[in-house]
Chains A and B, each alone.
Chain A
Amino acid sequence: MDENARVSNEVVIKADGVDFSYRSGEYVSRGVTGINLEVRRGEFLVILGRNGSGKSTLAKLLNGFLIPDEGIVTVMGTDTADENKIYEVRSKVGMVFQNPDNQMVASVVENDVAFGPENLGIPRAEIEERVTEALETVGMSEYRKGSPNKLSGGQKQRIAIAAILAMRPDVVILDESTAMLDPKGRREIMDTVMNLNREKGMTVVLITHYMDEAIEADRIFVMNDGKITASGAPKDVFLNYDKVKAAGLELPVASKVSKALIEAGYDLPFAITDEELAKSICRLKQKI
């Protein structure tokens, strides 16, 4: 799909001057402050931050799990603070969580995927269609009648994504959905997410602390201490080493290498992917 056609100007989620803090009795702990962000249709947006940076709080604000103390979050024009429309919001903004085991309700894969549409009162024939489509999208069709207990972490998480897709949301938020997986499982999820975004045009918001997952994003937001400290295209943000470092994050290997080379006086562009780095080094070699 053409890059420009994929991301439209339509704003799906908009957060405007959002403050939120957790309260239990007298005790108030910081959540997030002064959050402004827009998620556009078809976009692959990554929110980066270390533990305790407020990134999961932000995620929960985007689908009405948490209601801002100050400011407003709207999902396609609907205020998440509107209690009567909360299910409308949640069916539009699907959320996948960290632990795949803790988000499955049925002992058979297809029943689990059907749970969301059932809750929405979708007619049976259409649920069938949706389950088939969702499982196909995540490449898990052959496990349809099986039990989730026998699957690997990555496979379970793909089922969890399918379960959200079956509700046909406008946006999928993955709240650290790769954090508990092994490298293979993480790769599976990232491939699924990229396929979802690039081929199906699904708007994806990925919350993570792995920098390498942010490389292919359209835009990234770096969070630190409850605030967005940097945002923009991955390359622009990564160029801002100091802010990335201040947020407790590390640049991808390719960026580190190219940064070191630039600092050593070589004339080559800043790279974020391994391919970019390899190409620019080759070019540099030809020049010499």
Chain B
Amino acid sequence: MKDITLGQYYPSDSFTHKMDARVKLVLVVAFIVAVFLAKNFLSYIAVAACVICATLVSRIPISKMLKSIKAIIMILIFTGILNLMFYNGETVYWSWWRFNVSLEGIIFSVKMVLRLVLLVMGTTLLTFTTTPTGITDGMESLMSPLKYIKVPVHDIAVIMSIALRFIPILSEEVDKIMMAQKARGASFDTGGLVSRAKALLPILIPLFVSAFRRADELALALDARCYNATPNRTRYQVMKFGWRDLAGVIGTAVFIVLVVALNNNFWGAYQSVEAAWWLFAV
């Protein structure tokens, strides 16, 4: 049987892997806010330091991290070029029709790209260090206050958990159906776009039929296991806020404070160091 690893979870036993999924979710949100708070290169350096520290304690190989960047390379190029061309700067180096390349534009697009890179690296750390089940459980727990405004938090969590459980099963099924269709002479990789799309139809229909059949049986199985028997459902998986989580929160808080602090020129301190002033001012 195929072993399909869902998402990008990288199994390890590191500090971050052992952290509470809820805390990691909150910290990722805080991190995103911090990235958007950063204004100058000094605060970007602080954010980058945060990402580097987090990567180190997660023991995720650098190559893995770079791969996550590779996935968005087109977006990066696009963002970079568009910002470069359309920014209305003063020091114009090159101009043609509506396009202006200026010093300010270069600096701005570098910042934009840097922001995206840091954003993706920071957030993929979550999916690298947390299993999809862990993320689901964490989200359920974080959303639990919504119960009081009648949001069916638990049902949503069960739906997510079932979806995660069935992705590998259905993907295996797609393989089987494709093989069955190939055995009958179907071809999926020849012809133009339209004929290829049409060739997918004989896969989708059996897939949907079987998915509905599975859903039917699963519904019975849920009933057999007394799903919804009592509103006072208990939880087997308990999440604990441990020392690692406290350390993570403090660490992230330090970096956020640093980012905010570096956004300001306290008492003109930066002017005294030329390089720092340049990083701050541009």
Contacts and interface: CB of A to CB of B under 8 A. Distances in A.
Interface string B99-133: 00000000000000000000000000000000111
Given A90-B226, A127-B236, A149 B3 contact: yes
A102 B165 contact: no
A94 B220 CA distance: 12
B209 interface: no
B144 to A, nearest CB: 15
A111 B132 CA distance: 13
Given A87-B226, A119-B225, A149 B1 contact: yes
Interface stretch (B61-69, B87-95, B156-164, B246-254): B156-164
Nearest to A122: B234
A226 interface: no
Given A101-B214, A103-B217, A127-B234, A116 B225 contact: yes
Given A105-B222, A131-B236, A120 B214 contact: no
A111 B238 CA distance: 11
Given A102-B217, A107-B165, A87 B158 contact: no
A102 B218 contact: yes
Most chain A beta carbons < 10 A, residue from B131, B233, B234, B238: B234
Interface residues of B, number: 35
B224 A63 contact: yes
Contacts of A108: 133
A102 to B, nearest CB: 4
Contacts of B272: none
A97 B220 contact: yes
B190 interface: no
Contact of A111 (B218, B228, B229, B237): B237
Contact of A90 (B214, B223, B234): B223
Contact of B229 (A95, A104, A120): A120
Interface in A91-136: 91, 94-95, 97-99, 101-108, 110-111, 114-124, 127-128, 131
Interface in B188-230: 214, 217-218, 220-230
Given A103-B217, A124-B235, A167 B226 contact: yes
Interface string A63-106: 10100000000000000000000010011001101110111111
A163 B224 CA distance: 10
A102 B235 CA distance: 22
A33 B250 CA distance: 69
A115 B133 contact: no
A97 B221 contact: yes
B235 A65 contact: no
Residue among A65, A98, A107, A116 having the largest count of chain B Cβ atoms under 10 Å: A107
A95 B226 CA distance: 11
B151 interface: no
B12 to A, nearest CB: 15
B165 A106 contact: yes
Contacts of A65: 220, 223-224
Contact of A167 (B131, B225, B238): B225
Given A103-B218, A104-B165, A118 B235 contact: yes
Interface of A: 63, 65, 87, 90-91, 94-95, 97-99, 101-108, 110-111, 114-124, 127-128, 131, 148-150, 163-164, 167
Interface of B: 1, 3-4, 6, 131-133, 158, 161-162, 164-165, 168-169, 214, 217-218, 220-230, 232-238
14 contacts: A87-B229, A87-B230, A99-B217, A102-B214, A102-B221, A106-B133, A111-B236, A114-B237, A118-B233, A120-B229, A124-B234, A124-B236, A127-B234, A150-B3
